[in-house]
Structure 1
């Protein structure tokens, strides 16, 4: 169990395109564990490898239904639309309103080398899209049509 430093907005690694994982070895499995530990410690629901400075196509996500470890994930289909608030462990202090697909069909490889295809909707679909954007050097703020400070957002919630 190791916690990694989360890279912050402005660091070049967050804007680079990640490379596919060619071989699932002990190093990759250890990286998945470190990513999950780091995500949970930071109280996040997702983390992509570039966020800890590793340019590999890997993400971990847990929106409350258990941990998903995704290697070389690819969205096969998407449909519908949802509007929602997003934050990011790499961009502290601000939130943004972002349009995302309501439903996605995703293919990825798990830690055992098995190809998995899943369908996700609502918040899980949002989290998948957010994390996969990181693999292509895209941050949610690039897609946000409205940004809020955390204080502004808290004030809005009170009204």
Structure 2
């Protein structure tokens, strides 16, 4: 498999909700391999399938040396307690904006063998889980911005991309 190119803001695949994975076949196995290899590059925390042009519900992560994936994730829990911090996205390269996320998040889904998977964490892991889950629903983190920050971000995106 390969390190895949990242789709950039403006690509319609990023705004389209992804389909459930109904069959684990060679295509899905290849997708997981590509997600794991592509997220394992320096400076990458998470990667959704649609960011590499595949509109299926799967994502990978690379947080604190832990690399993994989940198929058909469900955002099972997000804490009421929030974290604030700058967030970026491989599909919006070079731009970082203050984004509020839950301080804790838990995702459930399956692995390639069909086994139940639960991934949870605080801080960067929580941010990653929520960010990648949004991607699978066709949302970029820019949609979570508000006020003048949102206006500035969208203007910058129009100018650069």
The TM-score with structure 1 as length reference comes to 0.87
Across the two proteins, how many residue pairs are aligned to each other? 149
Partner of 2:159: none
Gaps of 5+ in 2: 154-161
Runs of 5+ in structure 1 lacking a partner? 150-159
Return closer, same or farther for 1:118/1:35 CA change in 2, 3 Å cut-off.
closer
Match of 1:67, SS state, is: strand
The answer on whether the counterparts of 2:18 and 2:50 sit within 8 Å (CA) in structure 1 is yes
Partner of 2:157: none
Comparing 73-82 with 40-49, greater Cα deviation is found at 40-49
Q: Distance in 1 between matches of 2:25 and 2:66?
A: 23
Residue 51 of structure 1 deviates from its aligned partner by 0.3
Q: Structure 1: how far apart are the matches of 2:16 and 2:37?
A: 23
RMSD of the TM alignment (CA)? 1.7
Partners of 2:106 and 2:43 in 1: how far apart? 26
Distance 1:88 1:100, change over 3 A: same
Q: Distance in 2 between matches of 1:93 and 1:120?
A: 26
